[in-house]
Chain A
Amino acid sequence: AQTVTQSQPEMSVQEAETVTLSCTYDTSESDYYLFWYKQPPSRQMILVIRQEAYKQQNATENRFSVNFQKAAKSFSLKISDSQLGDAAMYFCAYPNTGNQFYFGTGTSLTVIP
């Protein structure tokens, strides 16, 4: 069974600092995608970044980047120059080849002014 684990229920970061959110997953597939979603207080799920497993290069989207370690099945999200608007729940997601998306339990990020 595929599972996604986020071991940090809550994290905090000072504004303008960097924070890393952790995610591990379990799969027997060799080619797959991984995603990070953000859920602000409005509860609208917003795609932050995606990583394709066959690509060795870590994905980057502006201040957001990932550290993808395929062998370790680890997929962490780094937020640089944190802003107040980054405060949200962050979910790691893994979709299997049947398009079933599996989500972690989320990490609640607080940004301290």
Chain B
Amino acid sequence: DGGITQSPKYLFRKEGQNVTLSCEQNLNHDAMYWYRQDPGQGLRLIYYSQIVNDFQKGDIAEGYSVSREKKESFPLTVTSAQKNPTAFYLCASSFQGVTEAFFGQGTRLTVV
């Protein structure tokens, strides 16, 4: 089945450590996105990529990094510079041009 897969579903991190969230899609989508979801704040865009080896910062990119070495994969690294990383993270993908975005099931990151 085609879809978008995020792993792991739950992730715990100690303060000061970097952690990488995985996002893989087999929908042949060109564009991929990372969003952060906090209570009462909706979804905020962290990074997005429209083609391989290219990506742009979203509204809240500080403390995060991404790579897009393959069309299918768009991993997000939460670095120790991110001051408040505990949140729910959603990955999405879409075709080029304005079509709907398809979402993964999310990763809940907790800093302990």
Contact = CB atoms under 8 A, between A and B. Distances in A.
Interface in B10-49: 31, 33, 35, 40-45, 48
18 contacts: A6-B42, A9-B40, A32-B98, A42-B105, A43-B106, A44-B103, A44-B105, A45-B92, A47-B102, A91-B42, A95-B101, A99-B50, A100-B45, A100-B48, A101-B33, A101-B101, A103-B43, A105-B41
Contact of A99 (B35, B88, B96): B96
B1 interface: no
Interface residues of B, number: 26
B29 to A, nearest CB: 10
Contacts of B35: 103
Interface of A: 6, 9, 32-33, 35, 42-45, 47, 50, 91, 93, 95, 97-106
Given A45-B90, A47-B100, A99-B31, A104 B45 contact: no
Contacts of B43: 91, 101, 103
A105 B42 contact: yes
A37 to B, nearest CB: 8
A42 B90 CA distance: 13
